């Protein structure tokens, strides 16, 4: 018997004339994919909205949404990576860049002298040096040096027959124990090439640290240099002064480049007072400090007043003296030169008797002591 009726669902095919409806593509998926090339944030937002709607409605476009999200997130990662690389390069460039201190609004941490493990001493006027100084009018005036290059560089200067100082420049820059062969410096560093005990020696001083290093030196045609035990390299050249540590390189233009016998180096630091500046021998003798001055605009008047108050006294500048004294630094003089009015005594006992009951204090004139170790100890 023939059956005119059938069940389409049982035979696996649909009646002729009927087709499957096309699946609608989610518009947010399309937007996510297109915007992934232009507006990453919107692409990410639209992509997540599309996936949520597709899961609920069964619409098409899941592949487009996923592609938009992948492209957008990869773009974010690439941008962050590029930003990180740029930041590292900028930091490295800043560390290696030439630093100018003319503006005075930045601080550069210069390499600490390798032997110095104790804080730099403070100076006061005329109270004991354990108290910090105060005052906002102190400023470090960068010395004005002759920029005319010398005909012959350091390598052309012969070692003298004797290391005994013969000039004020020898006494000032070579700590009264050698002969000055060459002097170089920048706004931050000063280096003296000296002949000490028959050997070329570098005495390097940093203005913002105050201490100094003494090292065996190498002498080239247009430069002289030395290497510290910790690997720090000091190089003083006709064009640039370069200090290289294990972590950074610091370079400044050379502002001072003169042979040790240059006439411009006579009487370094002299203030033109009734008493000329002195460069005392660093022979462990005792000095009594009556007061100090570090303000460039008023140094002459302040020092002259102290000299008048203490007849027979002398004055010196700490960076032009014995190794145990510091030079200008942010710690002891707001980076200005320190002038000291003093007198010498024959013994520590004699100095202590003068100091007793006063605001004065004592120091030892020494090249064998490190900075801060030359304080006179009175019972």
pLDDT of residue 22: 60
Judge contact between 69 and 32, C-beta under 8 A: yes
pLDDT of residue 365: 94
Structure tokens at 61: 């476009």
Judge contact between 289 and 306, C-beta under 8 A: no
Say which residue the tokens 């503006």 belong to. Answer: 103
User: Low-confidence residues of the chain, pLDDT below 70?
Assistant: 1-22, 90-151
pLDDT of residue 260: 94
Q: What is the CA radius of gyration of the chain?
A: 37
Q: Please count the other Cβ atoms lying within 10 Å of the Cβ belonging to residue 148.
A: 10
pLDDT in tens, 4-14: 443 443 334 34
pLDDT of residue 127: 36
User: Model-level pTM greater than 0.75?
Assistant: no
Judge contact between 183 and 258, C-beta under 8 A: yes
pLDDT of residue 9: 39
Where does 76-188 show beta strands of DSSP type E?
179-185
Q: Distance between CA 208 and CA 364 in Å, rounded? A: 24
pLDDT of residue 358: 93
Judge contact between 53 and 28, C-beta under 8 A: yes
- Name the DSSP class of 264: G
pLDDT in tens, 316-355: 999 999 988 888 888 778 888 999 999 999 999 999 999 9
pLDDT of residue 371: 74
For the chain, the farthest-separated pair of C-alpha atoms sits apart, in whole angstroms, at: 148
Q: Distance between CA 265 and CA 175 in Å, rounded? A: 15
pLDDT of residue 149: 44
């Amino acid at each position: 018997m023939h059956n005119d009726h059938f069940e389409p669902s049982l035979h696996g095919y649909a009646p002729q004339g009927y087709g499957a409806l096309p699946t609608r593509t989610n518009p947010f998926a399309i937007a996510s994919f297109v915007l992934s090339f232009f507006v990453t944030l919107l692409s990410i937002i639209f992509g997540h909205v599309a996936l949520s709607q597709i899961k609920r409605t069964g619409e098409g476009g899941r592949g487009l949404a996923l592609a938009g999200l992948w492209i957008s997130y990869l773009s974010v990662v690439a941008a962050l990576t590029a930003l990180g690389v740029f930041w590292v390069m900028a930091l490295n460039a800043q560390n290696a860049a030439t630093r100018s201190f003319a503006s005075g609004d930045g601080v550069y941490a210069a390499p600490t002298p390798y032997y110095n493990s104790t804080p730099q001493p403070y100076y006061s006027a005329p109270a004991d040096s354990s108290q910090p100084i105060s005052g906002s009018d102190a400023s470090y005036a960068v010395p004005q040096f002759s920029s005319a290059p010398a005909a012959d560089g350091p390598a052309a200067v012969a070692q003298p027959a004797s290391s005994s100082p013969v000039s004020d420049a020898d006494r000032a820059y070579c700590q009264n124990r050698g002969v000055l062969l060459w002097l170089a410096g920048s706004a931050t560093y000063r280096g003296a090439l000296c002949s000490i005990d028959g050997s070329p020696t570098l005495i390097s001083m940093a203005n913002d640290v105050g201490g100094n290093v003494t090292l065996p030196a190498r002498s080239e045609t247009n430069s002289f240099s030395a290497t510290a035990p910790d690997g720090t390299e000091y190089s003083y050249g006709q064009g640039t002064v370069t200090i290289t540590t294990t972590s950074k390189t610091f370079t400044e233009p050379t502002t001072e480049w003169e042979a040790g016998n240059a006439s411009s180096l006579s009487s370094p630091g002299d203030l033109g007072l009734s008493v000329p500046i002195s460069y005392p021998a660093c022979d462990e003798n005792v000095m009594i400090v009556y007061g100090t001055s570090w303000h460039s605009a008023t140094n002459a008047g302040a020092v002259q007043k102290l000299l008048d108050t203490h007849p027979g006294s002398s004055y010196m500048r700490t960076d032009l003296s014995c190794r145990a004294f510091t030079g200008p630094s942010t710690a002891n003089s707001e980076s200005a030169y320190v002038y000291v009015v003093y007198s010498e005594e024959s013994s520590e006992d004699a100095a202590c008797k003068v100091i007793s009951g006063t605001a004065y204090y004592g120091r030892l004139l020494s090249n064998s002591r490190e900075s801060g170790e030359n304080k006179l100890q009175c019972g």
